[in-house]
Structure 1
Amino acid sequence: MTWEIFTIVGTVAFALSGAFVAMEENYDLMGVYILGLVTAFGGGAIRNLLIGVPVSALWEQGSLFTIALIVMSVAFIFPNVFVHHWAKIILLFDAIGLAAFSIQGALYATEMGHPLSAVIVAAALTGAGGGVVRDLLARRKPLILQKEIYVVWAMVSGVLIGLHIVSGTIGLILLFIGVVALRMLSVYFKWQLPKRAIIVGQNLNNSAH
């Protein structure tokens, strides 16, 4: 039941996230549906390939496809409800999808008996994979490559679930809230991972001298 709840929450959140991005890019109705579905189901499809689940399992989620289409249609028909806080809403739904799907992916891999490394990868791919595909189709820089911390929070879910530090309905709900909060805080406070720039031209000139 817990796994199903996180699946539904993640599907709705990522379907809306993809729909909002498509409308922001002025896509037509079919573009909204395609981008929303890719966002909602792309990460799970990539995860399934890597952990040995048949791709055909994706087509067994007929009810989730229906839910995704309904919420995207509502967003397309009534966009003015969201327009005043458009950017924040996209970030919020993306954070909700990241949290729900990373937990769902980690639970899925754990139930299949995979090692910790596979659980972490499953959490990261399920949580961030759909968003990456969405951003690439929308010709945007993927959120996973942005300055603010993104995929790390999905990996945290994988670690905590894979090591059985977090379990049970209450623990998973608290983890979900924590991942959403950390993702939004990382955007608000602009938390970043360490980075280093290399200026290739200068290095070549220096070595020539």
Structure 2
Amino acid sequence: MDIFNVFSIIGTIAFAVSGAIVAMEEEYDILGVYVLGLVTAFGGGVVRNLLIGMPVTTLWSQGYLFKIAIISMTIAFVLPVRWILRWRRSEALFDAIGLAAFAIQGALYATDMGHPLSAVLVAAMLTGIGGGIIRDVLAGRKPLVLKDEIYAVWAMLAGLAIGLGWFETTVELLVLFVIVIVFRMLSVYYKWKLPRRSLRGAFAASERVPVNGQNYKQKDV
């Protein structure tokens, strides 16, 4: 087993448990826990395969990862609450490991198939964050990876570095792996965020019109 398989195992455990915990927070039953955990761990890879032309059936060749995910979710389901809270405190590190491993994996798949740089970027990003987006949508939440600390950017930068041929050998890829983890953890610690612009207040104000210069009523839509 090479080092990246080890990283993929760690990432699978982190993402599967993350999905299971979200399901329990939303009070899903045990079937919902398994579904949300598996979607989080493997959803990004499925979407990536569809977009870059890889057979979706290659997913079934990862049987050992499915078993690891099922075992991880089962353990999370029966763990005492205090242990789950401890996991949550270190979750960011394991999540960063999973993001780095899956982003690099997705980029390598795309480059091996001879896709252009744009496809490599998309493959890296979707493999790293796709499962989390699907998880949040199924749980009725806004996707945290698109509004929390910088997250998807690190996956895209990993894809850019691989697509440009800056990291090719095993040692170089390991260096890239560490770089992604470090920058992801720095963004968590310092709460780095991308620029954002909120129009919620402006839209809310525009839906109210003055009446007699004093009172306001809701504007008909």
TM over 0.5: yes
Q: Which runs of 5+ in 2 are unaligned?
A: 209-221
Residue number in structure 1 paired with 2:140:
139
Residue number in structure 2 paired with 1:150:
151
Change (3 A) 1:84 1:163: same
Residue number in structure 2 paired with 1:53:
54
Quick check: which one's helix share is greater? 1
Residue number in structure 2 paired with 1:93:
94
Residue number in structure 1 paired with 2:176:
175
Alpha-carbon distance in 1 for matches of 2:10, 2:168 = 18
- Cα deviation for residue 177 of structure 1 reads 2.3
String of CA shifts for 1:166-187, please: whole Å, max 9, x gaps: 2222222222222222222212
Change (3 A) 1:174 1:189: same
- CA contact 2:107–2:123 (8 Å) conserved in 1: yes
- CA contact 1:97–1:127 (8 Å) conserved in 2: yes
The one-letter code sitting in structure 2 at the alignment partner of 1:43 is: G
Residue number in structure 2 paired with 1:36:
37
The one-letter code sitting in structure 1 at the alignment partner of 2:53 is: G
Alpha-carbon distance in 2 for matches of 1:79, 1:95 = 24
Alpha-carbon distance in 2 for matches of 1:75, 1:200 = 42
38-47 vs 139-148, which deviates more?
139-148
| Pairing 1:114–2:115 present | yes
Change (3 A) 1:203 1:184: same
String of CA shifts for 1:97-147, please: whole Å, max 9, x gaps: 211111110111111111111111100000000000011112222122214
TM-score, structure 1 as length reference: 0.87
- State the identity as a percent: 60
| Pairing 1:187–2:192 present | no
TM-score, structure 2 as length reference: 0.82
Change (3 A) 1:70 1:149: same
Change (3 A) 1:84 1:11: closer
105-114 vs 138-147, which deviates more?
138-147
Higher relative contact order, structure no. (Cα contacts within 8 Å, ≥ 6 residues apart):
1
Residue number in structure 2 paired with 1:166:
167
| Pairing 1:75–2:76 present | yes
The one-letter code sitting in structure 1 at the alignment partner of 2:67 is: T
Q: Which runs of 5+ in 1 are unaligned?
A: none
- CA contact 1:15–1:39 (8 Å) conserved in 2: yes
Residue number in structure 2 paired with 1:125:
126
- CA contact 1:102–1:154 (8 Å) conserved in 2: yes
Residue number in structure 2 paired with 1:9:
10
76-85 vs 93-102, which deviates more?
76-85
Alpha-carbon distance in 2 for matches of 1:88, 1:169 = 31
Alpha-carbon distance in 2 for matches of 1:52, 1:79 = 43
Alpha-carbon distance in 2 for matches of 1:81, 1:181 = 28
